[in-house]
């Protein structure tokens, strides 16, 4: 597996491990069902033989996608993939960097990138590289769906600080927009454990994402603002894009 950057661990390599699992083990399964149902409605009538869950984490969406289509889950985190394998021992999961997908060209009919599993990289050329790799892995006419944060909603309703207790651990979360106005940053401090992590995601607007998709060889077919398929607006909770490979 190719390593990028200066040799120092990226934030996502540090954070998506055992502590992440302890804190966020009760993700919303109903929400996951809704986004997969949204995808199913969008691709109705298309032939879907193979699906890639890109950034699958512990397999919350992969399990639902597998009920509908043959699905491969890909993630970089060994800890999250261990959970995914435990939940579905026979399902195919792959550990790899999304900037260097280990699949042949024209391998998939659908690639799902869900729950803001994009925009992790400092250099936008690396984020663009992900889309180029997805393009090559999709068959002509294949679909990518990106479920991303809504940058305008994040800027308007950013909560600077909160804390809660989860599994006996006090979790302090501090959020801010980076000084260069390009990222939303969340620092997570586990008080009793004396550990601190960071999440750092690009504040890409819906327009930014659409331009990146077009540049990677996709045609954007739809933009929606929530898991029910509602019309996108500045105040929408999500930015969900469907695009087809040209």
CATH classification at residue 212: 3.40.50.150
Q: Are 189 and 172 in contact, with CB atoms under 8 Å apart?
A: yes
Do 112 and 143 reside in the same domain of the chain?
yes
Provide the domain limits for residue 170: 154-198
Structure tokens, 60: 């919350």
User: What CA–CA distance (Å, rounded) separates 144 from 243?
Assistant: 5
Look at residue 73 and give its three-state secondary structure.
strand
Would you say how long the chain is, in residues?
Answer: 246
Give the pTM.
0.92
DSSP 41: H
What is the reported pLDDT for 8? 56
What is the reported pLDDT for 26? 58
Residue 1 inside a domain? The answer is: no
Q: Residue ranges of the alpha helices (H) in 43-187?
A: 60-66, 78-87, 124-137, 151-157
What is the reported pLDDT for 169? 87
Do 188 and 211 reside in the same domain of the chain?
no
* Number of structural domains found in the chain: 2
Residue 136 inside a domain? The answer is: yes
Do 218 and 97 reside in the same domain of the chain?
yes
Give the residue among 59, 103, 237 at the shortest CA–CA distance from 157.
237
pLDDT < 50 regions, the chain: 1-7
What is the reported pLDDT for 36? 98
pLDDT tens column, 64-100: 999 999 999 999 999 899 989 999 999 999 999 999 9
Q: Are 196 and 187 in contact, with CB atoms under 8 Å apart?
A: yes
What is the reported pLDDT for 25? 59
pLDDT tens column, 149-168: 999 999 999 999 999 998 78
Do 141 and 88 reside in the same domain of the chain?
yes
Pairing status of strand 218-224 against strand 138-149: unpaired
C-alpha 98: how far from chain center = 11
């Amino acid at each position: 597996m190719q390593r990028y950057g200066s040799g120092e661990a990226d934030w996502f390599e540090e954070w998506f491990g055992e502590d992440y699992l302890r804190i966020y083990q009760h993700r919303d399964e109903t929400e996951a069902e809704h986004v997969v149902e949204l995808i199913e409605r969008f691709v109705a009538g298309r032939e879907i033989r193979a699906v890639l869950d890109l950034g699958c984490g512990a397999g919350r969406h992969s399990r639902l996608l597998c009920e509908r289509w043959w699905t491969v889950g890909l993630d970089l985190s060994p800890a999250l993939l261990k959970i995914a394998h435990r939940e579905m021992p026979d399902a195919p999961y792959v550990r790899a960097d999304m900037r260097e997908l280990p699949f042949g060209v024209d391998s998939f009919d659908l690639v799902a990138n869900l729950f803001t599993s994009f925009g992790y990289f400092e250099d936008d050329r690396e984020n663009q590289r992900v889309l180029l790799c997805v393009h090559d892995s999709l068959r002509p006419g294949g679909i990518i769906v990106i479920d991303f944060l809504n940058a305008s909603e994040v800027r308007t309703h950013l909560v600077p600080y909160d804390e809660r207790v989860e599994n006996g651990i006090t979790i302090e979360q501090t959020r801010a927009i980076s000084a260069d106005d390009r990222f939303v940053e969340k620092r997570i401090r586990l008080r009793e454990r004396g550990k601190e992590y960071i999440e750092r995601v690009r504040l890409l607007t819906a327009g930014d994402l659409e331009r990146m998709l077009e540049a990677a060889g996709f045609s954007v077919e739809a933009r929606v603002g929530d898991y029910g398929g509602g019309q996108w607006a500045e105040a929408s909770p999500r930015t969900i894009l469907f695009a087809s490979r040209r």
